[in-house]
């Protein structure tokens, strides 16, 4: 009788030990996945900040004007170069 109880308790102990090992393995896997997700989130935050900086830089009036002068050959309109149209005159 005592041998059966010992055998039952031993089997129960082995089952509990295997359960603990499995739980620890799953916890480690989840922790690794969490770390990867947090690293990806940090990288996306860095990229978002860089994109916001680029947008603010590219949208400035002075830069747009400089690009228009350099790339398109545009110049500011002066009164001497302006042509006025009036209705009814030829």
- The closest alpha carbon to 58, from 47, 50, 70, 69, belongs to 50
* Contact in structure between 73 and 65 (CB atoms under 8 Å): no
pTM of the model: 0.57
Q: What is the mean pLDDT of residues 22-30?
A: 98
Residue 17 CA, chain-centre distance (Å), reads 41
Q: Per-domain residue ranges for the chain?
A: 2-72
Residue 15 has pLDDT above 90, yes or no: yes
Task: Give the whole-number percent of the chain exceeding pLDDT 90.
Answer: 56
Q: What is the mean pLDDT of residues 73-86?
A: 84
Q: What is the mean pLDDT of residues 22-46?
A: 98
Q: Which of 28-32, 40-44, 81-85 has the lowest mean pLDDT?
A: 81-85
């Amino acid at each position: 009788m005592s041998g059966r109880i010992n055998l039952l308790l031993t089997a129960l102990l082995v089952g509990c030990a295997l359960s603990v090992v499995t739980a620890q393995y799953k916890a480690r896997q989840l922790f690794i996945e969490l770390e990867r997700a947090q690293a990806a989130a940090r990288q996306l935050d860095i990229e978002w900040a860089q994109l916001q900086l680029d947008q603010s830089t590219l949208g400035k009036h002075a830069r747009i004007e400089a690009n228009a002068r350099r790339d398109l050959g545009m110049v500011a309109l002066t009164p001497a170069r302006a042509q006025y149209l009036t209705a009814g005159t030829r």
